[in-house]
Amino acid sequence: MDYAASSDIAHRKITTLRLKEMKKAGIKITCLTAYDALISRILDESGIDVILVGDSLGNVFQGNDTTLPVTLEETIYHTKAVVRGSSRALVIADMPFMSFQVSPEEAFRNAGRVMKETGCSAVKLEGGKLVVDAIARMTEAGIPAMGHLGLTPQSINKFGTYKARGTNEEEADQILEDARLLEQAGVFAIVLEKIPAELGKRITESIEIPTIGIGAGPHCDGQILVYSDMLGLTIDFSPRFVRRYARLYDDIKDAVTRFSDDVRNSKFPTEQESY
Ligand code: KIV
């Protein structure tokens, strides 16, 4: 469907229901991450449908090697900022490592805190059948949950590698089965990370809820990227699935160098820039 022609959807506040309608209507869903109000506002005003406060903030914002150190308090802090910067997009908070694995009750309580304290519209949890009870508990109580299958970065120490998942039949069937279980438990959408395009297609066609791909091929109902990767702010991370739409690392470096040159050569500030 031509998105521009469907101006109704283009201007309406995005809800979890709207995402399901978009899948039905064949309108692709656009998603990016954000961790602060400044970027959130730019993404929102550019018409992005979903803003994920990913636990990738552990890498991007905090400079860690993995997402594991991110805490619930930090997730709440960043999600509050992103909610303040947005108005149309659906803001989803990523539940950090160990905030939902201990028990469905603890997961439910933590997700409730995130919703109550941040004003976000939904949470995301990594994992398949192990999180099904937690998701059912949340859905029942009115907390919309998004699933995340395929490469799940919080399990890096279990797998020991960030390579693609679902590349053999057994693992592919397991991921498909997990997608069905998550759907039955009540998730409103599922992120599929770094799996073969063919498996992305199979899952997308097998479930009624939207799939959002990151390195999961073109057949998913939507696509997500980490904002700093697609804007070229990160230069040392370039997996095949990242397309760079800008070169902000170079642009910022250039601007900072010119500022420093101007200051050092007494060219800034001028009389017009002074009081
Ligand atoms: O944390 C994150 O940014 C994510 C996306 C990559 C899906 O989970």
Is residue 9 predicted with pLDDT exceeding 80?
no
Confidence of residue 237 (pLDDT cuts 50, 70, 90): confident
If asked whether residues 260 and 183 sit together in one domain, one would say no
CB contact at 8 A, 50 and 30: yes
Is residue 137 predicted with pLDDT exceeding 60?
yes
Active site residue: 74, 126, 183, 193, which one?
193
Please tell me whether residue 268 adopts helix, strand or coil conformation.
coil
Dist. CA 251 → ligand 1 center (Å)? 25
If asked whether residues 264 and 176 sit together in one domain, one would say no
Shortest-distance atom of ligand 1 to CA 191? 7
49, HSE (Cβ side, Cα atoms, 13 Å): 25
Confidence of residue 66 (pLDDT cuts 50, 70, 90): very high
**% residues pLDDT > 90 (the chain):** 93
Q: How far apart are CA 173 and CA 122, in angstroms?
A: 27
Dist. CA 271 → ligand 1 center (Å)? 47
267, HSE (Cβ side, Cα atoms, 13 Å): 7
If asked whether residues 165 and 213 sit together in one domain, one would say yes
Which protein residue's CA is at the shortest distance from atom 4 of ligand 1?
54
Record the tokens describing residue 191, joined without a space. Answer: 């992120």
If asked whether residues 154 and 24 sit together in one domain, one would say yes
pLDDT, averaged across the chain: 96
CB contact at 8 A, 219 and 186: no
Q: Structural domain tally of the chain?
A: 2
Dist. CA 239 → ligand 1 center (Å)? 14
If asked whether residues 32 and 55 sit together in one domain, one would say yes
pLDDT tens, residue by residue, 191-214: 999 999 999 999 999 999 999 999
pLDDT at residue 218, rounded to an integer: 98
pLDDT at residue 8, rounded to an integer: 63
pLDDT at residue 7, rounded to an integer: 58
Q: Which amino acid is at 183?
A: E
Which protein residue's CA is at the shortest distance from atom 1 of ligand 1?
54
CA distances from 19 to 6, 40, 64, 65 (A): 14, 19, 32, 32
Is residue 4 predicted with pLDDT exceeding 70?
no
Record the tokens describing residue 85, joined without a space. Answer: 């910067």
Across residues 219-247, what is the average pLDDT? 96
Range of the domain at 266: 248-275
Q: How far apart are CA 187 and CA 149, in angstroms?
A: 12
pLDDT at residue 6, rounded to an integer: 59
If asked whether residues 188 and 101 sit together in one domain, one would say yes
Is residue 225 predicted with pLDDT exceeding 60?
yes
Q: How far apart are CA 199 and CA 192, in angstroms?
A: 10
Shortest-distance atom of ligand 1 to CA 31? 7
Query: Shortest CA distance to 131 belongs to which of 167, 154, 103, 112?
Result: 103
pLDDT at residue 11, rounded to an integer: 77
CATH number, domain of 124, equals: 3.20.20.60
**% residues pLDDT > 70 (the chain):** 96
226 Cβ closer than 6 Å to some ligand 1 atom: yes
Dist. CA 153 → ligand 1 center (Å)? 8
Note if 45 is an active site residue: no
Across residues 98-120, what is the average pLDDT? 98
Out of 51-55, 75-79, 120-124, 237-241, which region has the weakest mean confidence (pLDDT)? 237-241
Contacts of 267 (CB under 8 A, 6+ apart): 261
CB contact at 8 A, 63 and 106: no
